[in-house]
């Protein structure tokens, strides 16, 4: 899932979701200025992604996965989600500084 967090974008706060499977062979390109997250739907899943720059922990930010304002529809797996402490502390969209590029 990717959420547009570009400051002056006409689609600010909107999102798009894509299901990636071994069967459909899809990839999901997420450009700069979009928050992104994923949920694993099957055990023993391998997930990888490419970045266009070196990882910089100081520049890392996050967005609350269950922010009601975003109306993100995560799949219901019938079990509680497991999230990191870091992911649980992310703010809602209304509290982040939009990406200014």
Quick one: residue 43, left, alpha or beta (phi over 0 = left, psi -120 to 50 = alpha)?
A: beta
pLDDT above 90: residue 60: no
pLDDT above 90: residue 12: yes
pLDDT band at 55 (very low <50, low <70, confident <90, very high): confident
Distances (CA, A) of 71 to 12, 30, 64, 85: 14, 19, 11, 22
Q: Which two tokens stand for residue 88?
A: 């649980």
Question: Once rounded to an integer, what is the mean pLDDT over residues 73-99?
Answer: 93
Better-predicted residue by pLDDT, 101 or 3: 3
Please state whether beta strands 15-16 and 2-4 pair in parallel, antiparallel, or not at all (unpaired). antiparallel
CATH of the domain at 31: 2.60.120.10
Per-residue pLDDT tens digits for 21-51: 989 999 999 999 999 999 999 889 888 888 8
Domain count, the chain: 1
Report the helix count and the strand count for the chain, using DSSP H and E.
1, 3
Question: Once rounded to an integer, what is the mean pLDDT over residues 64-88?
Answer: 93
pTM summary value: 0.89
pLDDT at residue number 19: 94
Beta carbons within 8 Å of 89's beta carbon, 6+ residues apart: 62
Residue 30, domain extent: 1-101
């Amino acid at each position: 899932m990717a959420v547009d967090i570009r400051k002056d974008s006409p689609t600010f706060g909107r999102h798009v979701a894509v299901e990636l499977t071994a069967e459909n062979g899809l990839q999901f390109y997420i450009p700069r200025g979009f928050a992104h997250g994923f949920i694993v739907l099957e055990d023993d899943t391998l997930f990888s992604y490419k970045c266009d720059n070196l990882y910089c922990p100081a520049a890392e930010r996050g967005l609350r996965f269950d922010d009601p304002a975003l109306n993100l529809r995560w799949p219901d797996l019938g079990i509680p989600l497991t999230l990191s402490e870091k992911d649980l502390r992310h703010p809602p969209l209304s509290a982040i500084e939009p990406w200014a590029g």
